[in-house]
Each structure stands twice: as C-alpha cells, then as structure tokens.
C-alpha cells in the first residue's frame, strides 16, 4: 500500500496555484492519457516544472528521456530547450508513443522531440557516443530493473558536467528493504550500489512527498 497523506496533495495544489498556474496543454495531455487508459504515473506538475528549471539552468540543448509514457514530462523537458534544441525520448509501448506524439503536437513541442520506440537498452546500445552532440541532461524514468544499465548508458552518452535525474528512487521507503516484495526495488538498489564511490559521477538523492506520495529523485552530475 502506498503511504499517502491528503496534506501532501493539498500542499502540491497550493504550490501549483502560486508557482505554476493554469496550463491547458498539460491538462489536455493528462486528459488524453486518462482517456486512453494510460497509468497515471507521470511526474507531478511541480516535479515537471523542476525538471524544466534544472534543464534550463544548465542551458541544456540536447536532452535524453528514458520512459516517455504519454509525454507529460517530455512536454516540460522540451519547454526547457531553445528552438534548435532536441529531446530524444525512449518508450517501449508503441501505443504510448503515439499518444505522446499527439500530446507533444498539441503542446507545440513536437518539432523538438524524437520518440524512439523499443526496449530502451536496445535503443541506447544503438546510440554511439561518437554521434555528437552528447547529452547535457538525462531524465531516467522507465523500468527500474534496468536503472544501473541506464546509468552506464547515460554516462557514456553525456558530456562532462551533464546532469542525470532518476525518478522513483525511494518508493515509500521500500528502497532500504533488501527483502522487498516490490520487484522494482532491487533494480533501484542496484543503482545506489553502482553509485557508491563511483569514479565518474557525484550523486545525491532527495526524498519527496506530494500528489505522487512518498518517493524521491536521484541527481547525479558527470565529473569533468
């Protein structure tokens, strides 16, 4: 059972009212996803805005996302880019990718975004670091089982100084339970283990509560 508290959502509503405001394109995206039966596991509005601001603050021009779903976080990330920037987003399910493309189109962002359908590990393996430009910012939010593999690919395909952000690294606190019956936990723990004394990145993780309950983001920066 997900641990939740109605106060967390009320505070998220307050944050959105003051700092984000109405956003018809994002509302339409969530409505289309719901209508198509997609799981409501997108980032929250406050989290999406955080991704946009992080990417903007480092002047990201080339962003990679692993796990598109209906394109909600992709809309936020695409908004961080100037007109000549690119977002590459990887998604397993062709039906989700089609909905994401239509949501990005409605949001006026489709010209900046390439969605690649398939197993992300395969798509990443086909991407060569010699194919510049390297990524400035990577958002990892697909199957948690492959998080350690996604870390390796993200480092390989990113410039030094790039920021990597992983979603869902706390999972109601389940991450500290080595015997967790949540199949997603071992993959997430493998990410932390890979990052312990890592030679190429510095990392931290921040716990969050809100409309998406108790979870967290892991942030890493690729060393020079």
168 binds Mg ion (CB under 5 A): yes
150 binds ligand SAH (CB under 6 A): no
Binding mask 7-26 for ligand SAH (x = CB under 6 A): --------------------
CB 63 within 8 A of CB 135: yes
Taking the least distance from each CB to ligand SAH, the nearer of 93 and 182 is 93
Q: Kindly provide the b/e burial profile for residues 103-125, where b requires at least 16 CB atoms within 10 angstroms of the residue's own CB.
A: bbebbebbebbebbeeebbebbe
Q: How far is the CB of 212 from ligand DHB (least distance, A)?
A: 6
Taking the least distance from each CB to ligand SAH, the nearer of 68 and 158 is 68
For ligand SAH, the binding residues in 37-96 under the rule CB under 6 A are: 41-43, 67-69, 72-73, 90-93, 96
CB 12 within 8 A of CB 44: yes
109 binds, among Mg ion, ligand DHB, ligand SAH, none (CB under 5 to 8 A by kind): none
Q: Which stretch binds Mg ion (CB under 5 A): 48-56, 94-102, 163-171, 201-209?
A: 163-171
Binding mask 168-187 for ligand DHB (x = CB under 6 A): x-------------------
Q: Half-sphere exposure (CA, 13 Å, Cβ side) for 90?
A: 23
Measured N-to-C along each axis, helices 147-156 and 184-195 cross at an angle, to the nearest 10 degrees, of 40
For the record, the structure tokens of 150 come out as: 């996604």
Binding residue (CB under 6 A) for ligand SAH from 54, 142, 175, 218: 142
CB 107 within 8 A of CB 99: no
Q: What is the sign of the dihedral through the CA atoms of 162, 41, 116 and 27? A: negative
Q: How far is the CB of 135 from ligand DHB (least distance, A)?
A: 20
Taking the least distance from each CB to ligand SAH, the nearer of 93 and 200 is 93
Quickly tell me which residue has 């992080």 as its tokens.
54
Say how far apart CA 195 and CA 24 lie, in whole Å.
39
User: Assign residue 217 a region: left if phi > 0, alpha if psi is -120 to 50, beta otherwise?
Assistant: beta
141 binds Mg ion (CB under 5 A): yes
Strand partners, 63: 87, 137
Which stretch of DSSP H or E encloses residue 222?
strand 215-222
Positions that interact with Mg ion (CB under 5 A): 141, 167-168
Positions that interact with ligand SAH (CB under 6 A): 41-43, 67-69, 72-73, 90-93, 96, 119-120, 141-143
Positions that interact with ligand DHB (CB under 6 A): 41, 141, 167-168
């Amino acid at each position: 059972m997900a641990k939740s508290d109605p106060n967390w959502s009320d505070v998220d509503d307050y944050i959105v009212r003051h700092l984000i405001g109405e956003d018809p394109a994002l509302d339409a995206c969530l409505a289309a996803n719901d209508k198509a039966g997609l799981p409501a596991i997108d980032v929250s509005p406050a989290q999406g805005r955080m991704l946009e601001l992080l990417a903007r603050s480092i002047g990201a021009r080339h962003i990679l996302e692993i796990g598109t779903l209906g394109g909600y976080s992709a809309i936020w990330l695409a908004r961080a880019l100037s007109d000549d920037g690119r977002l590459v987003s990887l998604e397993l399910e062709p039906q989700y990718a089609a909905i994401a493309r239509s949501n990005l189109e409605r949001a006026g962002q489709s010209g900046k975004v390439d969605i690649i359908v398939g197993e992300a590990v395969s798509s990443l393996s086909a991407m060569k670091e010699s194919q510049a430009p390297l990524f400035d910012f990577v958002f990892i939010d697909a199957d948690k089982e492959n998080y350690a593999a996604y870390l390796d690919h993200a480092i390989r395909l990113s410039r030094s100084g790039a920021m990597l952000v992983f979603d869902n690294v706390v999972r109601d606190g389940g991450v500290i339970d080595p015997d967790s019956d949540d199949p997603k936990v071992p993959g997430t723990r493998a990410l932390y283990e890979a990052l312990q004394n890592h030679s190429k990145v510095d990392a931290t993780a921040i716990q969050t509560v809100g409309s998406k309950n108790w979870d967290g983001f892991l942030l890493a920066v690729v060393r020079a």
